[in-house]
Chain A
Amino acid sequence: MSETFEKKALIVGGGVAGIQAALDIADGGYQVILVERTPSIGGHMVQLSEVFPTLDCPQCILTPKMVMCGQHPNIDIKAYCEVESVTGEVGNFTVKIRHKATYVDWDACTGCGQCEQKCPTKAPSEFNRELAFGPRKAIYSPFAQAVPNKRVIDPDHCLKLTKDKCGICAKVCPTQAIRYDQKDWFEEIKVGAIIVATGYELYKKENLTEYATDPDVIDGLEFERILCPSGPTAGVIRRPSDEKEPKEVVFVQCAGSRDPDKHLPYCSRVCCMYCCKMAMLYKHAVPDGQAYIFYIDVRTDGKMYEEFYQRGVEEDRIVYLRGKVSKIFRQGDKIVVFGMDTLTGKRVEVEADLVVLAMAMIPNPAGEKVKKVLNLKTDQFGFITEAHAKLHPVETGIDGIFVAGTAQAPKDIPETVAQAGGAASKVLSLFSGVEKGQEAVLKELTG
């Protein structure tokens, strides 16, 4: 161990896991650098409509935490950044950070949004899962409550950067913040501990060849955006192909999960609950519609989850069909879903207007590089392996490097928050132990 112990933490990934860990450590009195690769922190949770089992809106429960992160004197958010390389050891990591070119001087940008209003170019919005009805501009911030509230230019679509035309944003910007010639730049920081919270992505729909690639066959996150009151349809339920209100919606659970032969053997853990939730929300929005859910097992095992599922069946009359869907195909205006109800032994055929696939959760591919530069062990699917599943579930086996959230395994928000608290406590005990000069403790922790 070297003499100086940097009591400052790096958190990679600004989803709810990273945010919670950052707040816990910062409230404990230590500096945190929160690196997020997209223009805003928030992760997948801010994309959701409402969250089970309380059905409160993530806007109401996450945005305040995001704002707290943005304003916390101990938290330095580095958005639109990535970790390039890491050297050193616990207490003394040197981290090289890439600031991706935003083409906007963030010190000058006030987030007024005039540029975005005037920009003539539309591009698919990652935040809206590239749904046809929710494009963004070439200069944009991903969503209204973004933290930090700054704009970035998408170099693949900007007319100025691709064709040297337009330049409107530079003209309208009241603070002259636009920098078309900006390049990526690098920064080196020193930290004592690292938490990896790079989150998840969904397995690609296209991998399921037995299910039609049809605009009206969507994944769970796409449907979350359609359900969301502040989403691209303002909470009005529409299907992508013709913007009609769907009257029959089929949810297919375990799409890609629990399928060791063709796809992924593991259970993605949250789909049972979110399908039930989305079916409920759909029914609240379209009371005369019908929701069907195909399932293998209904895994609603958290606190008040079973009760939630009962409510879905009893109050919202969701029809649960036990069995796997063998085929989905388009027939005129409808999408036909073929399945087997293993309880009655009968074949079921539903003519649906919209099909929602609960795609398996996979580790966010954007986290690959970080895991590589940190030399982290992962399982065969890429989830970070914890030092010991029971006794050390937030340690990675490398001193001073911890894991939180869905980067470790699929899990829901309450569990993510709890695990993030667990990771933060490790960092807090490490720093506070060092501060108190407890040699013995230190030795035990650092080996």
Chain B
Amino acid sequence: MKPRIGVFVCHCGLNIAATVEVSEVVKAIKDYPGVVHAQDYIYMCSDPGQELVRKAIREKNLTGLVMSNCSPSLHERTFRNLAASEGLNPYLVEVANIREYCSWPHQGDKETATKKALTIIKATIERVKRNQALVPLIVPLQKRVLVLGGGVAGMQTALDIAEGGYPVTILEKEAYLGGRVRQLDRTFISLESAPDLVNEMIDRTLKQPNIEVLTTAQIENLSGYVGNFEVRIRQQIPWVDPDKCNGCEACITACPAEVPSAFDRGLVTRKAIDWTPGERSGDKSIFLDHQVCRRVTHQENCTACQEACKEGAIAYPEDRFIEQTYGAIVVATGHDLYRKSALTEYAEDPDVLDALQFERMLAEDGPTGGKVMRPSDGKVPKEVVFVQCAGSRDPDKHFPYCSKVCCMYTCKEARRYKEKVPDGQAYLFYIDIRSTGKGYEEFVKESVEKERLLYLKGKVSKIARQGDKLLVLGGDTITGVQVEIEADLVVLAMATVPNPGAKELARLLNINTDPYGFIQEAHPKLAPVETLTAGIYLAGTSQAPKDIPHTIYQAGGAASKILSLFSRKELVHEPLVARVDTEICAGCGYCRDNCAFQAVDVDPIRKKAVVNEALCEGCGACATACPSGAIQVKNLDSKQVFDMISIVTQDYSLQP
């Protein structure tokens, strides 16, 4: 059958039309072989624009469409759906990208751009001529969700999905739920207790019958694809039996391994076997931290605690592995603070704390019972300097980005300090005060007025120990004078960074991170909770620094995507996948070695490559690796690619 192709050229307002001579393109393409209809319009994606396309399909009986507009990532789906609604197979529609590939880079050069647009369109027409009508693949859907990280982001996502009636597993690498919020004292702007806030949420999570919580657990391996992720989980079995333990602490005394407590940010030490960090005082239990135990760290056969225990509560079973299939995964692995030691201009001094250390000090359940004191000598500090943007907004030496929460928590911490030490003075160095949430501006104003917080606009250039004091040198950019403060304690609002291990996790999950290691969302506005891997979503500070309210509704956003996904019976996968011509395939396996998605394998008996279509993303890596051209991507086979290249070589008189 002779092709009857329609070409539609969009102005995109002025985005395209200001640079590409749209009417000329239409005129030139009208009589191109195979084209029976050509038309332009100001916004092809709008309702009337789409109606024009529909009408042409109907009236001209089109067999293929070349949509000449913006990138296919924006509107390929729009126009394919449109074709389908008119009974034209959607895979007979291709986009000729004349915006990102043409009008944008050639702004101001109409001649070049118009010529190039024509070439792109002609090449796409050649491609469409050989396109085949395809039918999407149907993939079964396992309606069960895995949430990585049990901070507020992870718990909120899990709660929303569980309330929607689907089973959820939360994997938390620590022994407790709650993440960073569990370490905080109070939260801005209500100043309510952080442990109360997060405990209420933990209670709801543990009571929710659809949620399974696995603590001290991590993901070991992942294979599969949206709807059917095969996950292998490694969980440490507690070495202390809670039913037998009577809390006598004999084991703690006996344990030889003592390290700085991670939960208390190194303000105190803990034994490998000790009270569980982050637990409510009501139900304390003993916890043996495998990461610290000499049996693990030194591969020793230490049994000191087992011997000390009169109740026989301690044993050392191996880790257990769980294998489970999940339909969707949420990454909610949170954040950490940048290392203080990275800021060499600031003294490494026991009285220079990071903001989380100071939170632990303010917290009633912290090592000082909420008393503010200098770590060096236990004295109550009378002059405290808070340094904002420590490592943030510093493109030359550290991170260019803003950590978003430090302005607010610094104000909160200074205010809490003043509540505890009313005759003390708090100084806050800042570049800009970024208090942009609901009621945040008012909170800062009120704190300044009520607690006489002294805000100084400027950067701190040096912190040095001088006898009993810490000398803080800074510039006040408003008065223009150099400020020197003799402080008792310095609190650094260190930049927010992704949790260590985020990069490796991203690699394991096959998702992207941004240059700083935060998980990359698919699009900041259109797909803010999706990753580029279908079925893997994100929530909370693993994506970017943010505060609790923002974390909570982003988590809801991730949950809503999954609830939508699960409302279908099964999944539909793009049919643009690789296909093997078994006549030609020699079973060499180059394709298998080049596939990033583990989608190709070689049948050992028949010695032929086999494609797992559900896994194949149609990237074409296999096709380029194949020595004989036996493996090809549907609707982008080598014949089509060569046809397109010849158009370019003809138009630009190049030697192929």
Contacts and interface: CB of A to CB of B under 8 A. Distances in A.
Contact of B544 (A302, A343, A441): A302
Contacts of B45: 59-60, 63-64, 67, 145
Interface stretch (B169-177, B349-357, B550-558, B578-586): B550-558
Contact of B553 (A234, A413, A418, A430): A418
Contacts of A84: none
A51 interface: yes
B561 interface: yes
Contacts, number: 236
B265 interface: no
B249 interface: no
Interface residues of A, number: 88
A293 B50 CA distance: 41
Interface string B151-194: 00000000011011110000000000000000000010110000
Scoring B47, B433, B442, B477 by chain A CB atoms within 10 A of each residue's CB, the highest score goes to B47
Interface residues of B, number: 77
Nearest to B518: A303
A60 B15 CA distance: 10
B201 A391 contact: yes
A430 B160 CA distance: 9
Interface of B, secondary structure class, is: loop
A393 B442 contact: no
Nearest to A390: B548
Contacts of A146: 47
A56 B42 CA distance: 17
B70 interface: yes
Contacts of A390: 187, 190, 197, 548-549, 552
Contacts of B402: 300-301, 305-306
B560 A421 contact: yes
A432 B165 contact: yes
B639 interface: no
Interface string B423-460: 00000000011111111111001000000000000000
Nearest to A295: B432
Nearest to B521: A303
Contact of B15 (A63, A64, A229): A229
A441 B200 CA distance: 17
Nearest to B568: A29
Interface in B513-560: 518, 524-526, 528-529, 543-544, 548-550, 552-560
B42 A230 contact: yes
Nearest to A441: B163
Contacts of A297: 432-434
Contacts of B400: 306-307, 310
Contacts of A51: 525
Nearest to B81: A71
Contact of A423 (B14, B556, B558): B556
B250 to A, nearest CB: 40
A209 interface: no
B563 interface: yes
A24 B526 CA distance: 12
Given A303-B401, A390-B548, A422 B528 contact: no
Given A67-B46, A300-B402, A230 B432 contact: no
B42 A414 contact: no
Interface centre among B445, B553, B568 (most CB of A within 10 A): B553
Given A24-B564, A306-B401, A425 B78 contact: no
Nearest to A271: B436
A415 B524 CA distance: 10
Given A266-B439, A310-B400, 4 more contacts: A59-B43, A144-B42, A419-B557, A422-B556
13 contacts: A29-B564, A60-B74, A63-B43, A68-B78, A228-B13, A303-B544, A390-B197, A390-B552, A394-B553, A414-B528, A421-B560, A422-B556, A425-B160
Interface of B: 12-15, 18, 42-43, 45-48, 50, 70, 74-75, 78, 160-161, 163-166, 187, 189-190, 197, 200-201, 209, 393, 395, 400-402, 404, 407, 432-442, 445, 477-480, 518, 524-526, 528-529, 543-544, 548-550, 552-561, 563-564, 567-568
